[in-house]
Amino acid sequence: MVTNATIETLLNRRSIRKFKDEAIDADTVATLETVAQRAASSQFLNDWSAIRVSDPAVKAKLAEFGHQPYIATAPLLYVFVIDEHRNARIAESKGIDPAGDDFKLKTSYRFTQAQNDAVLALHAMETAAYSLGLGCVILGSILNDINGLIDLLNLPEYTYPVLGLAIGKPDQEPTLKPRMPRTMQFFENTYPADSENDLSEALPAFDAEVHQYYDLRQADRPVDAFSDQIATVSGQDVSGKTLLDKAAAQGFTLDK
């Protein structure tokens, strides 16, 4: 394998869920935010924003949404959002009515691309943080109560929450979590037909490897095999986290 400091940082990434009670200095914060802004942006729309959450009451509320107490303890905490609100205001200043059909930034394509842009920015910030010896955890769990989250952060029309990111000095050392063999996830020129992609070749060894991994969240026993985890998660209720109805209330027309 080819290597350098950046590749080492990326290869050694692991989620950190316990932080030292030490603030992150303003210079580091400025660096992380500037790095996030440098990520690619579809059509140069710059169509995301991030809410930096420093108010303990807001942090506590996010921890409540996510059912994860550690969220409230994160020294640095962000919620990244799709943001076509800023662009709608700009378009409006140019004589375009965002409520009308001619305003296309609220369509499904722009929504998904803005979501991608937000994730690119978040990952740039995450990578920079790890390179500085900080640790992070990406928070999908705050989406458990999307309406609550929208209310909490006063997210206006044409914005939508994407993910949270908690950052701090690590106060735990989790082991590196297994990944499936590369040939299970990378294919050449075509997605292989099931008949030519026999999972029973590589999956059992990966299942066994995962089953040997210890998660610090339940340190007394190895985690379930990958296949068992998939079976469990595939049945988990996510009905509180439907996307479309709530996106419509934020002004998006995802059927277009």
Site for a copy of itself in 61-80 (CB under 8 A): none
Q: Which of 18, 64, 75, 91 binds a copy of itself (CB under 8 A)?
A: 91
216 binds a copy of itself (CB under 8 A): no
Our finding on whether 119 is near a copy of itself (CB under 8 A) is yes
Q: Residue 177 interacts with a copy of itself (CB under 8 A)? A: yes
Which residues ranging from 20 to 49 are in contact with a copy of itself (CB under 8 A)? 27-28, 30-31, 33-35, 37-40, 42-46, 48-49
Other Cβ atoms less than 10 A from the Cβ of 60: the count is 13
> Which of residues 21 and 194 has its CB atom nearest to a copy of itself in the complex?
194
Q: Identify the H or E element spanning 83.
A: strand 76-83
How big is the site for a copy of itself, counted in residues (CB under 8 A)?
Answer: 119
Q: Estimate to the nearest angstrom the gap between the alpha carbon of 107 and the chain centroid.
A: 21
19 belongs to the binding site for a copy of itself (CB under 8 A): no
CB closer to a copy of itself out of 12 and 218:
12
Determine which residue in the list 17, 19, 53, 68 makes contact with a copy of itself, applying CB under 8 A. Answer: 53
Interface residue with a copy of itself among 23, 99, 199, 208 (CB under 8 A) is: 199
Main-chain dihedrals φ then ψ at residue 135, nearest 5 degrees: -125, 155
What are the structure tokens assigned to 157, written together? Answer: 């029309």
Q: Are 138 and 162 in contact, with CB atoms under 8 Å apart?
A: no
CB of 67 to a copy of itself, least distance (A): 14
Smallest CA-to-CA distance from 88 within 19, 159, 141, 146 is with 159
Tokens encoding 103: 């305003």
Check residue 219 for interaction with a copy of itself (CB under 8 A).
Answer: no
| Residue keyed to tokens 């099931």 | 194
Residue 237 interacting with a copy of itself (CB under 8 A):
yes
Distance in Å, CB of 199 to a copy of itself, minimum: 6
In the complex, least distance from residue 82 CB atom to a copy of itself, rounded to whole angstroms: 11
Query: Which DSSP symbol is given to 39?
Result: S
Give which of 53, 49, 25 is closest to 37, Cα–Cα: 49
Q: How far is the CB of 177 from a copy of itself (least distance, A)?
A: 7
Asked if residue 131 binds a copy of itself (CB under 8 A), the reply is yes
By three-state DSSP, how is residue 59 classified? helix
Which two tokens mark 137? 């955890």
> Is 250 among the residues that bind a copy of itself (CB under 8 A)?
no
**Binding track over 137-166 against a copy of itself, x by CB under 8 A:** -x-x--x---------xxxx--x--xx---
CA 109 to chain centre: 19
Picking from 167, 173, 172, the residue whose alpha carbon sits closest to that of residue 75 is: 167
90 belongs to the binding site for a copy of itself (CB under 8 A): yes
Distance of CA 142 to the CA centre of its chain: 10
